[in-house]
Amino acid sequence: TGSLNLVLSDDLSGSIDINGASVTLQFDRVGQNARVTFNGNAGQWVSVGMTDATVGSVNCCATSTVSILKPDGTTLLSPFGFFSVGGGTPSVQLPTAGTYSIVVDPWNTNLGTVTLTLSEDLSPPISINGPAPTLTNRPGQNGRLLFSGAAGQWVSVGVTNATAAAVNCCTTSTVSILKPDGSTLLSPVQFYTVGNGTPSVQLPTTGTYAI
């Protein structure tokens, strides 16, 4: 026995551009969600950054989430948790040109704001034994650096001057290597502000790899 109050709300709406200005959402009603649209092209790799997240939960026991839906309404990025410190989603590749939706679902009864930043992956050139590029990222922006390799080569990645990295082991930044077919060659290795170096991996085939 007991009682409860129901609050029925329209989703907050708006639009956002890839690599454009950030958008701040203001949630004033309990349980209200948001649906922000953007236009994308087939093949683009994008991610969403969340900052100033007063609607985020304060710990990992319960999370606010952000997801991305394809133009047909099916899921491209499954709900990804973020907290009051904000966060950044994994990158996803857009399968087709069209209008996509970012859906934000605040935790529990939280009211307040979250700022979304939508970005295409950084992709400066890099080569084995070549110069070291510097990545300067927007909130939540990831990097996808392509390099050419030959079958049998052993390679590793070093990370330095990592001001974009996490400061402790509670939250981490990662670096990984993907094979030419997109499958994982090196699983994500954590790094912090002091930097890090990955284990060596042997390239299984000649082709274009991604860090």
First to last CA, the chain: 56
**Are 177 and 210 in contact, with CB atoms under 8 Å apart?**
yes
Burial class (CB in 10 A: 0-12, 13-18, 19+), 53: buried
**Interval 68-81: pLDDT, tens:** 999 999 999 999 98
Give the model's pLDDT for residue 167: 59
Residue whose C-alpha is closest to residue 12's, from 20, 29, 4: 29
**pLDDT (average), residues 53-65:** 74
Q: Return the higher-pLDDT residue of 168 and 81.
A: 81
Confidence band of 171 (pLDDT split at 50, 70, 90): low
- Residues 3-40 have pLDDT tens digits of 999 999 999 999 999 999 999 999 999 999 999 999 99
Distance CA 143, CA 137 (A): 8
Write down the pLDDT at residue 169. 56
pTM of the model: 0.89
- The pLDDT, as a whole number, for residue 194 is 80
